[in-house]
Structure 1
Amino acid sequence: MGVCMEVLIVDWAHLRSVPVEQRVRMVEEAAFGPDGAYDYDPPEGWTWPDPAEARWWARYEFVSTMTSYKAHFWAGERWEELRPFVGPPLRAALDQFGAPLFWGDHNYTLPPPPEPPFSPAIVSRPTDWLPRTATMLWLEPEDVTALHRFWVRAEPELASLRAPFELHVVEPIGWIKDFASFSRLVTEWGDVVSRAAERGWGIIGLKC
């Protein structure tokens, strides 16, 4: 469970234009900095490249997670406990929106959706895109667009989850112990997805 991840939003068209053998270096330097220069205590929130550099990426550091994926795992556990007490429309939207955010790949039984469900590519990667990288998350622009639609549905009702959370999540343990921490992580993911979607970009998560 001691997995760390750096999250990037990336200009897919720019990355696609670069020869395959150069992409690994570009993405890893964007996530971790030049060799030997990576700061293991990066600032929380958004980091954008220097104005003099090509602005084809941005890095997001989730608040109070120390880059650890443990918070994501525990948020997934909280959602497992909470989702039976959430109305079907909001539950379906958060099932889809949260799939890449929470640890593991949950296979919920969902009612027939009005559109094809989002299926995150969490495990397998096209090796010709980023060979030899420890990629944990791989969302192409069309995936991000689909996720953003689910976030637009879920965001206005997110606060309504406070009451069922406090009533039904009785003894929360781990990194996500209250509704505030759960809501913050989900909202941060909404910001990542929204900023990538508005640019037509993709999202990549690299194991650190």
Structure 2
Amino acid sequence: MTEESPKYFYWAAYAAAACWVAQMFIGTVDMDSMQRTAAVQPIMDGWLENVVLQGLWILMAVALLFFSSACRTAFLAHPGIKSGYATALHSGWLLAAVGLCASAWTNQSMLAAAENADQSGVQVLAYLQVYGWFVTLIGLSTAFIAVGLGDRRTGLLPAWFTYATAVLGFLGLLGALHIPPGGLLCYLLLAPWLVAAGLLLSRVSRLGGRRHGAAEAVRD
């Protein structure tokens, strides 16, 4: 018996990438405008954008959880992998999803504070909404490093992708430590990475399924 994820688990990577690109165009709270005016006003003016942004974060978090399961299953199905790498990458995606959920939660709290004209509450929650990315970045960096190091033992993915992923993960960690430009690179390259990873892992899964089917046919 071979472990294999449903193909839509890999499609979740495309959904997560689409959500990430969409939220990049919407953007987070403009802290400068909040300092120039009453804190509540910019939030109320951009109420719809904040609601859409919150929805995108939630959808992306769910998509990442499905994709993390696909990644873990693909790695565990390979005989050369050590389970620790699969657990680490799964934990990294989980932490990234938690970061997105935390951003959505603080965004919802910020909207509630704005509706109640709570100036100080809005200002504090706006900072938390903007910098919730920090938690997501740590999770992404962990997942990237685990994928890069783990795949060096399996050859599951192309070598260029493996090394690029590991480098991106270490740069992301440097970004979390306020050493540029790692955080920015992770932010900009996350969507194309997800699309590429989804395509590559889906292909590996299909090939593995065919080989398993051929082996079963030979035994029969």
TM-score between the two structures when normalised by the length of structure 2: 0.34
Larger Rg: 2
Higher relative contact order (CA 8 A, sep 6+): 1
Greater per-residue helix proportion? 2
TM-score between the two structures when normalised by the length of structure 1: 0.35
